[in-house]
Structure 1
Amino acid sequence: MTADFVHLIRLTDDTGLFEHARHATVRRGHGYCTDDVARGLLVTSREPDPSPAVLRLAECYLTFLAHAQDGTGAFHNRLGHDRRWSDEPGLGDWWGRAVWGLGTAAARSTAPWIRQEALGMFLLGATRRSAAVHAMAYAGLGAAEVLRADPGNTVAAVLLRDAAAAVGWPAEDPLWPWPLERLTYGNASLAEVVVAAGHLLRDDALLAGGLRMLRWLHGVQESDGRLSVVAATGWRRDGPRERYDQQPIEVAALADAAATATAATGQRHWDLVVRQAAGWFLGDNDGGVAMWDPLTGGGFDGLTQDGPNLNQGAESTLAYLSTMQVATGR
């Protein structure tokens, strides 16, 4: 068993990945969500030499997504512990994350049957488009994974270009070049998909725009050489910028985006951002506290002004694992 995945294994049963935990104890009553299961498939598929236990996790998450996807490529999001869906299939963030996870599995899984099954599900999901910017960005990142493995995949290429277009072009204002009026959650993923599109589609102007967005985003989330990321309430162009509560998903998104920028440009500056992201989890943050539990392997749910939120749910644990993967070159 891979030690880093101990808490993820704890959060997973034979159906899927539970969303919430009270400290390290699973809260079964809150059920499962496609959002987190897709993140789980992404992270387990990134492992270059997965243990049998990690492969079983990937198999479980892929099976969950197969059950969640309907015949049009949309996905259910919320499944209760009673194994009943509480929603209709849709194209929200969970669709985008599912397409991202499936694209990653199709490109990177060490199991041929997982790659084959995930690719078929990806291609179906990739026929759809969402009105939500984040959903499109996440789906585009899945398309980028497929294109890296198969540069001739036209379905992935079209989805990636559409995702970059959905994010939009950076504004001229140097104080706020972000294409949206507000920073919310998973912000670096929006810049990352534009960088990936520019690189993989050989569009130099698009690449330059994405890098401009990412440089600014990193700059406004850096304080005294460490990361101080967007609070859960978000930051507006002209509004106050609260320091807490900081969410692990922001740190993981920055790490992923920096790794993509390094691959696109060869500039080693972005390695510093990855190191800062890993450092945030290890205690180099505004609270000076570790954001993961070495006893359980879980990631803490947020950094508050009073220290870590000690709950260790799926999103935060996966954010920790994902960041450590990037930091070790996976």
Structure 2
Amino acid sequence: MSAPTGARAARYDHIPSPPFTHLRRLTDAGGVYEHARGTTPRREHGYCLDDVARALVVVCRESGPEHDDLREHYLSFVLAAQAEDGRFRNRRGTDLRFRGAPCVEDCWGRALWALGAAAEDPRALAAFDRGARWRSTSPRTMAFAALGAAEVLSVQPAHVGALDLLAAAAIAIGRPAPGAEWPWPEPRLAYANAVLPEALLVAGAALDVSTMIADGLRLLTWLVEVQTRHGHLSLVPAAGRGPSDRGPGYDQQPIEAAALADACARAYRITGHQRWLDGISRAADWFLGANDTARALYDPVSGGGCDGLERYGRNENQGAESTLALMSTLQHARALLTSDGIG
């Protein structure tokens, strides 16, 4: 699908292009600093694979050589975080040593997503193959890995390991209960929720299973509706949301808006329906101030994203997760909404 043109594109031209200035501020020879005090990296907290994997996905979406240095740097970190058996360590100190035992937790799923995004590089594809032999007990972790498998299939459409991983992820996520008021496959909404329907969408498309696509679209439709209030996004707070909870809730996290934008972009590319462009627009506008407290989380001076929407304002710190969530959302907006789209 290509970006809208003319009058349709003009309605979205208030959305800025993704800035790389603050991401570069957070990046040094060791990786991407996880936390910041304001715009200043908090070096004492070191780095984590979760954030570097997010960063690799973001830079791999960019065409041209401008960010090749970041792409190589982040890929090197992800490769170094992998143990010989294919699992990953998440934490790295400023001494450049990785901490903890290798695991198959979220960092594993995000690492596979990032390696899939970089799969045109033989090093990334080999590392994906080593990691894709594992399975997680967490549906959300499996969903992150499924997005990496979908990226691998865009390079190698018959890749057996990627196809097997997608099938396993769909099973782990399960199906929405037919006719249920709460169709979500978990008792509560948690974090990065839209990754679950997006994983069903990519699995259904790759495996040619129309019921998976239908399930993914149903869950995503419900998720957008339950997180919309007075025409703007009112996101699941950090503590989650259950069937009896009523919004708005705080602190709202940028990762929720980014996951919705990811899933809506996927749904649009599969269906071509305008409603999913509207979802991307709402996610971008959430960062720009169309939210429950009318406060922008995008800092145009630093190029960073604030760490959360609070009841009476915003968290002024601009850590890696929030900044990358902003950048990812703006990438989808640029690709599919604005007149200078790259899609």
**Structure-1-length-normalised TM-score:** 0.94
Counterpart of 1:235 in structure 2 is 241
CA distance in 2, matches of 1:116, 1:267: 35
The match for 2:20 is 5
- Measured in 1, the distance between the counterparts of 2:18 and 2:108 equals 30
Residue 100 (structure 1) aligned to one of 113, 120, 125 = 113
Asked if structure 1 preserves the Cα contact closer than 8 Å seen for 2:18 and 2:331, the reply is no
For residues 90-125 of structure 1, what are the alpha-carbon distances to aligned partners after superposition, in whole Å with 9 as ceiling and x for unaligned?
A: 010000000001101115xxxxxxx22111111111
Q: CA deviation at 1:175?
A: 1.8
Question: Is 2:281 the partner of 1:305?
Answer: no
Question: Aligned match of 1:49 in 64, 67, 72?
Answer: 64
Runs (4 or more) in structure 1 with deviation over 6 Å come to: none
C-alpha distance in structure 2 between counterparts of 1:89 and 1:240, whole Å: 39
Separation in 2, partners of 1:240, 1:285: 16
- Whether the aligned pair in 2 keeps the contact of 1:68 and 1:76 (CA below 8 Å) is yes
Q: Is the 8 A contact 1:234 1:241 kept in 2?
A: no
Query: Per the alignment, in what secondary structure is the counterpart of residue 235 of structure 1?
Result: coil
Aligned-partner residue type, residue 72 of structure 1: D
SS at match of 1:182: coil
Distance 1:201 1:133 in 2: 18
Q: Distance in 1 between matches of 2:334 and 2:84?
A: 38
* Local SS of the residue matching 2:79: helix
Structure 1 window deviating more from structure 2 (317-326 vs 79-88): it is 79-88
1:102, 1:142 within 8 Å by CA — same for their partners in 2? yes
Paired letter, 2:322: S
In the TM superposition, what is the alpha-carbon distance from 1:83 to its structure 2 partner? 2.1
- Cα distance change on mapping 1:306 and 1:267 into 2, 3 Å: same
5 Å matches for 1:44-193? Answer: 44-51=59-66, 54-107=67-120, 115-193=121-199
Query: Aligned to 1:25, which of 22, 30, 40?
Result: 40
Amino acid at match of 1:62: L
The one-letter code of the counterpart of 2:188 is R
Specify which of 275, 283, 289 is matched with residue 283 of structure 1.
289
Letter in structure 2 aligned against 1:94: C
SS of the aligned residue for 1:183 comes to: coil
Structure 1 residues 215 and 197: alpha-carbon distance in aligned structure 2, compared to 1, 3 A threshold: same
Q: Within 1, Cα distance between the matches of 2:105 and 2:247?
A: 27
Secondary structure of the residue aligned to 2:298 is coil
- Counterpart of 2:201 in structure 1 is 195
Match of 1:258 in 2: 264
2:75 partner amino acid: L
Q: 1:271 maps to what in 2?
A: 277
Alignment gaps of 5+ in structure 1: 108-114
Aligned residues of 1:195 and 1:260 also touching (Cα < 8 A)? yes
Q: Is the 8 A contact 2:86 2:130 kept in 1?
A: yes
* Matched letter for residue 279 of structure 1: D
Give a deviation string over 1:131-179, Cα, whole Å, max 9, x none: 1121100000110111123211111111111111111111124321111
What per-residue deviation string (whole Å, max 9, x for no partner) do you get for residues 9-35 of structure 1? 110111211100000000000000000
Deviation at residue 239 of structure 1 after TM alignment = 4.0
TM-score when scaled to structure 2? 0.91
Which residue of 21, 37, 44 maps to 2:52?
37
Q: CA deviation at 1:82?
A: 2.1
Q: CA RMSD in A?
A: 1.4
Mapped to 2, the partners of 1:319 and 1:200 lie a distance apart of 26
1:283-327: CA deviation from partner (whole Å, max 9, x where unpaired): 111111111111110100000012110100000000000000011
Whether the 8 Å contact between 2:200 and 2:213 is mirrored in structure 1 is yes
Q: CA deviation at 1:76?
A: 0.3
Change beyond 3 A, Cα 1:3–1:173: closer
Query: Is contact 1:235-1:242 (8 Å) kept?
Result: no
SS at match of 1:244: coil
Contact 1:34 / 1:77 at 8 angstroms: preserved in 2? yes
Relative CO higher for 1 or 2, CA cutoff 8 Å, sep ≥ 6? 2
Q: Distance in 1 between matches of 2:30 and 2:299?
A: 25
State the identity as a percent. 50
Q: In structure 1, give the amino acid aligned to 2:330.
A: M
Supply the distance in 1 between the matched residues of 2:318 and 2:283 (Cα, whole angstroms). 18
Say if 1:233 and 1:3 are closer, same or farther in 2 by CA, change over 3 A: closer
Residue 95 of structure 2 aligns to a residue whose secondary structure is coil
Q: Contact 2:234–2:248 at 8 Å: present in 1 too?
A: no
